[in-house]
Amino acid sequence: MLINFSNLLRLMYDGDDADNARARELREIIIHGRVPKSNQNGYKFVEYSTKRCILGILKTKCSLLFGSPGSGKTQTIVSLVQILVEYGYSVLVTSYTHNAVDNILMKLVRFNDENDKKVDFVRMGQPRRINPKLLKYSDHDRTKKWLETENIIALNHFYSTIPVVAATCLAVFNHPLFQKRTFDFCIMDEASQVFLCTSLGPLFNCHNFVLVGDQKQLPPVVQSSYARQNGLDESLFSRLLNTSGKQDIGHYDDDFDNDEFDVGNKDSNHQNNKSSSSYGQSIRIFPLFIQYRMNSVIMQVANKLTYGNKLKCANKQVETISLLDYLLPNDKCHILEEYQSSFISKIISPNLNDSVVFLDTTSIPLAFETYDNDNGEFNILPQQQQQQRSQNNDTNDHSSPSNDNTKSFNDATNFNTDNIGIISPFRRQVNKIRELFGQQFLEQNHLEINTVDQYQGRDKDVIIYSCVKSRNSNCSSVETNDSNQTPIIDSELLKDERRLNVAVTRAKRKLIIIGNCHTLNRYLPFRNLFNVLDEEQIVPLIDFNDFNDIVI
């Protein structure tokens, strides 16, 4: 919190020194939405085999790179870093989380291994927070020899000339390097998840910045509903989109074909002009809508729910990937014939057309959640099975739909559980599912079970999404819009369309959603989902025991 307040004070600082010049420029961008024009008239056009958005970023002082799910934004960042370094620019790579920073650097290491031209970089931060594979690139390891010999000149030269520095947004505040050095470019990944005040720190250390994110996914985490209502969960990425009138990015299409991009070396003038005429009137946005993750069926759901049919599959292979790719020829006939007449066929089917299935638990009379006023909601299981669980405490008993679906895939196909991800919006549901599988099973089979929030930025071949919410159909409160709902029914996590979007877009080949249609229909994001899904994609689950037919 202290860092955020300090960043805010720097933003509002009004003095005569260089720090005020940058503060004035940032105020124009953040508060007034006016972006400085980039003076690059001396650049010569360079033919470079990369995405057009990268060329546009090189011409713009303030850019937003909209990275839709699976669009290869991390690879785009690596390509941008490589180009900037080649033309003599210094780059600060940052994000809110250590994982996000390390993901970029891991791909940068792979680039260095595959190419003659290397990108030299240093990873700032405490060694215990850095990916072990990147420790040799940490400032701790790279400066150790100079610290031991107290060679301050060599140490200062290293920090002053290293072309790429990577650190979290908060680390920028703590290291003395950032008190002395200003970078040509700052690239902030997952910017839509960074608090606005937190994002200010890195921006004071650069002349030009690129914010990479997707405001259609989860925002910064704010526990207080009062703080959220008053805008604390608004990121700088979202604010600049709103300021430019481009908040509905799904219906925005920038015309790149008419742009002439001039790319040049660092020697060109990048100095900021202080006159009002040096400011443009809008934010430059570079959308990435070509995605390499979801097959066409899953992508269609995401398109209709969120992205206005802008998402496109990168190629035919991405468009048609399915679980059929995991089956041997004999297995295909066996699987498709065995379950052809069963309602289970949609769930276990590896066919492309069956890539999205909603498993409806409405018809199970006792499959309603229980609620603890002290701890919040948890698992939906029939009362009889809950009693059995408490009696025998058999943690390997796969007695819920999530468990049975996972076992079905594992047994019926040439498929490993490390290709499956189980997610839920509720932490207690995650813990319950882990308990049902048992720790030994999870460790041996590398099965990941986590919240939707923690899966952002991740993907799996198969995603099983447990919505949890279920309520007796005789309860009138389900069908009303009365604001005085019980805690079991009313859930902010299920009201958030961005959380549903993240859940849907984690899957590459198969998406199974488990929930009570009758209950979930009271939440607008799920009403929209049900309008998008075909009748064939909603499969009613009549009895938990029906899963015994496919669990070996």
Tens digits of residue pLDDT in 480-536: 334 343 343 347 889 999 999 999 999 999 999 999 999 999 999 999 999 999 999
270 and 326 assigned to the same domain: no
- Whether 258 and 342 map to the same domain: the answer is no
Residue entry with tokens 């819920």: 400
pLDDT at 46: 32
| Domain, as residue range, for 248 | 2-288
Q: Under a CB-based contact definition with an 8 Å cutoff, are residues 280 and 33 in contact? A: no
Confidence (pTM): 0.79
Q: Answer for the pair 401, 360: CB distance below 8 angstroms, yes or no.
A: no
Q: Of the candidates 265, 288, 311, which is a domain's last residue? A: 288
Comparison of pLDDT for 445 and 408, the residue scoring more: 445
Q: How far apart are CA 188 and CA 280, in angstroms?
A: 22
- Positive or negative, the CA dihedral 221, 225, 227, 230 is positive
Q: Are residues 330 and 273 in the same domain?
A: no
Q: Kindly tell me if the per-residue pLDDT of 210 is higher than 90.
A: yes
Q: Is the pLDDT of residue 325 over 70?
A: yes
Judgement on whether residues 265 and 333 belong to the same structural domain of the protein: no
How far are the Cα atoms of 59, 397, 428, 465, 552 from residue 468, in angstroms, in the given order? 48, 19, 10, 9, 25
| CATH at residue 154 | 3.40.50.300
Is residue 423 situated within a structural domain? yes
Q: Let me know whether 327 and 228 are in one domain.
A: no
Q: Are residues 192 and 243 in the same domain?
A: yes
Tokens representing 411 are: 């047994």
Residues 263 and 380 in one domain: no
- Residues 222, 330 share a domain: no
Is the pLDDT confidence value at 406 over 70? no
- Determine the Cα–Cα distance for residues 131 and 125; give it in Å rounded to an integer: 11
- Lowest average pLDDT, out of 42-46, 135-139, 399-403, 408-412, goes to 42-46
| Across 309-321, average pLDDT | 95
The pLDDT assigned to 400 comes to: 57
In the chain, the N- to C-terminal Cα span, in Å, equals: 53
Report, in this order, helix, strand and coil percent for the chain, each rounded to 5: 45, 15, 40
Check whether residue 343 and residue 270 sit in a common domain.
no
Residues 267 and 360 grouped into a single domain: no
Percent of the chain having pLDDT more than 90?
48
Q: How many angstroms separate the CA atoms of 234 and 237, rounded? A: 8
For residue 252, pLDDT beyond 60: no
- 434, pLDDT greater than 60: yes
Phi-psi region of 362 (alpha: psi -120 to 50; beta: other; left: phi over 0): alpha
Burial of 143: CB neighbours in 10 Å, binned 0-12, 13-18, 19+: middle
**One domain, residues 225 and 341:** no
**512 lies in some domain:** yes
User: 208: which strand partners?
Assistant: 185
Looking at residues 398-419, what average pLDDT do you find? Answer: 60
Distance separating alpha carbons of residues 415 and 429, to the nearest angstrom: 25
Residue type (1 letter), 199? S
Q: Which CATH number does the domain housing residue 469 bear?
A: 3.40.50
Question: Does residue 407 belong to any structural domain of this protein?
Answer: yes
The total number of structural domains that make up the chain: 2
Contact 501, 68 (CB under 8 A): no
